């Protein structure tokens, strides 16, 4: 059976409604609503999850600080309130359930250190951030398990900036230069802290990246992820070979088959089916059922609220049709 799920963000500010929408899926998740404020977006929530790492939001920029600012405190309170609603809405749930958090490299590329550079440029700061995030992720998984004891947890690590970090393409704050590229072994080691925590807590771990150039082999090798989540429109010829090897190794492939760049244009169920089967044919791996998950290419925060259920409906029907075709 091929599943489908969302990747994180949903539109609007009504978390209760968003949560109910997410839990209409067979593979639901704890959504993010960035429209509520910077404390509820991907970076704010990620810093809010990180344990013992104070930060402040100033002039549109997150920055590490001696003490936690009001927006970081809001991020932590908002997450706690969201978990309270999760427990109430999903009481008795026993299927797969996902939560997601920004990864250490996207956080390091998006957060300033206490001086004038990004965390990315400071080896000590990025090490501290990675360790604080791993500790906070452990706390988060323990908390979700306590509230949903029957759920099979999946941790999604969002790393949209990782390819640029590895390529030395992250601009310095002034925009005139680029930060030094991070070596792949260092990047993998920081991510492995998170996958080790997930596995210790009985959860699977999947890395999501909607940018081209994610080193798939390193993600499912040294970094230890159980699968990768990618935008299929960003695939290069080399990606198909890497994905084939990943699938042959029994890892999961979360296929971002529904484009999110234009919310006014939704592909039909048949178009989605054809897009998915095209990737499956090029990967040429038998028996993907149980390891293939269909998703939007990225989050849905930019979509009209009324379109979200239709997105999930079409993904669900496409997943059913692909499942039937692969079973023949």
Interval 78-129: pLDDT, tens: 999 999 999 999 999 999 999 999 999 999 999 999 777 899 999 999 999 9
Q: What is the pLDDT of residue 288?
A: 79
What's this model's pTM, rounded to 2 decimal places?
0.96
Q: How confident is the model at residue 36 (pLDDT cuts 50, 70, 90)?
A: very high
- Which residue from 136, 63, 61 is spatially nearest to 99, judged by alpha carbons? 136
The arithmetic mean of pLDDT across residues 44-63, rounded, is: 95
Confidence of residue 183 (pLDDT cuts 50, 70, 90): very high
CA–CA dist 310, 180 (Å, integer): 43
Q: Which CATH number fits domain 3-327: 3.50.50.60, 3.90.105.10, 1.10.275.10, 3.20.20.210?
A: 3.20.20.210
Checking if the pLDDT of 328 tops 80, the result is: no
In residues, how long is the chain? 328
pLDDT tens-place string over residues 187-210: 999 999 999 999 999 999 999 999
pLDDT tens by residue, 221-259:
999 999 999 999 999 888 999 999 998 888 999 999 999
Tokens standing for residue 136: 């906070």
Q: Which CA distances in Å does 109 have to 168, 186, 196?
A: 11, 15, 23
| Confidence (pLDDT) at 286 | 73
Q: Which two tokens stand for residue 68?
A: 């936690």
Residue 261 confidence (pLDDT): 93
* Mean pLDDT rounded to a whole number for the chain: 95
According to the model, what pLDDT value does residue 243 have? Answer: 92
Question: Domain ranges in the chain?
Answer: 3-327
- The Cα 35–Cα 12 span in angstroms is 6
Are 229 and 103 in contact, with CB atoms under 8 Å apart? no
Mean pLDDT of 165-192: 94
Q: For position 141, what pLDDT does the model report?
A: 98
Contacts of 138 (CB under 8 A, 6+ apart): 197, 200, 201
The predicted structure's pLDDT at residue 289: 73
Query: Mean of the pLDDT values across residues 140-147?
Result: 97
SS3 per residue for the chain: CCEECCCCECCCCCHHHHHHHHCCCCCCECCECHHHCHHHCHHHHHHHHCCCCCEEEECCEEEECCCCCHHHHHHHHHHHHHHHHHHHHCCCCCCEEEEEEECHHHHHHHEECCCCCEHHHCHHHHHHHHHHHHHHHHHHHHHHHHHCCCCEEEEEEECCCHHHHHHCCCECCCCCCECCCCCHHHHHHHHHHHHHHHHHCCCEEEEEECCCCCCHHHHHCCCCCCEEEEEHHHCCHHHHHHHHHHHHCCCEEEEEEECCCCCCCCCCHHHHHHHHHHHHHHHCCCCCCCCEEEEECCCCCCCCHHHHHHHHHHHHHHHHHHHHHHHC
The per-residue pLDDT for 238 is 86
Q: Is 181 exposed, middle or buried (0-12, 13-18, 19+ CB in 10 A)?
A: middle
């Amino acid at each position: 059976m091929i599943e489908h799920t969302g990747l994180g963000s949903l539109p609007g500010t009504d978390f209760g409604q968003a949560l109910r929408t997410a839990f209409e899926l067979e593979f639901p998740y704890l959504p993010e609503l960035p429209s509520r404020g910077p404390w509820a977006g991907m970076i704010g929530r990620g810093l809010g999850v990180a344990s013992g790492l104070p930060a402040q939001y100033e002039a549109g920029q997150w920055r590490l600080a001696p003490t936690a600012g009001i927006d970081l405190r809001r991020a932590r309170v908002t997450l706690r309130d969201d978990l309270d609603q999760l427990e109430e809405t999903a009481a008795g749930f026993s299927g797969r359930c996902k939560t997601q958090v920004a990864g250490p490299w996207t956080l390091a590329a998006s957060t300033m250190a206490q001086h004038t550079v990004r965390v990315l440029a400071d080896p000590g700061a990025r090490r501290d951030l990675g360790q604080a995030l791993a500790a906070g992720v452990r706390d988060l998984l323990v908390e979700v398990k306590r509230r949903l004891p029957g759920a099979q947890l999946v941790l999604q690590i969002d790393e949209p900036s990782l390819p640029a970090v590895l390529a030395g393409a992250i601009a310095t704050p002034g925009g005139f230069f680029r930060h030094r590229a991070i070596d792949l072994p260092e990047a993998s080691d920081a991510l492995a802290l998170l996958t080790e925590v997930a596995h210790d807590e009985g959860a699977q771990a999947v890395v999501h990246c909607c940018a081209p150039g994610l080193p798939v082999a390193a993600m499912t090798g040294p970094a230890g992820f159980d699968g990768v989540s990618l935008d299929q429109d960003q695939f290069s010829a080399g990606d198909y070979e890497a994905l084939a090897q990943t699938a042959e190794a029994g890892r999961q492939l979360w296929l971002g088959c529904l484009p999110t760049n234009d919310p006014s244009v939704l592909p039909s169920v048949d178009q989605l089916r054809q897009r998915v089967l095209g990737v499956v044919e090029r990967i040429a791996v038998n028996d993907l059922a149980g390891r293939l998950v269909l998703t939007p290419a990225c989050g849905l925060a930019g979509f009209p609220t009324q379109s979200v259920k239709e997105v999930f409906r079409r993904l669900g029907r496409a997943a059913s049709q692909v499942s039937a075709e692969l079973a023949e």
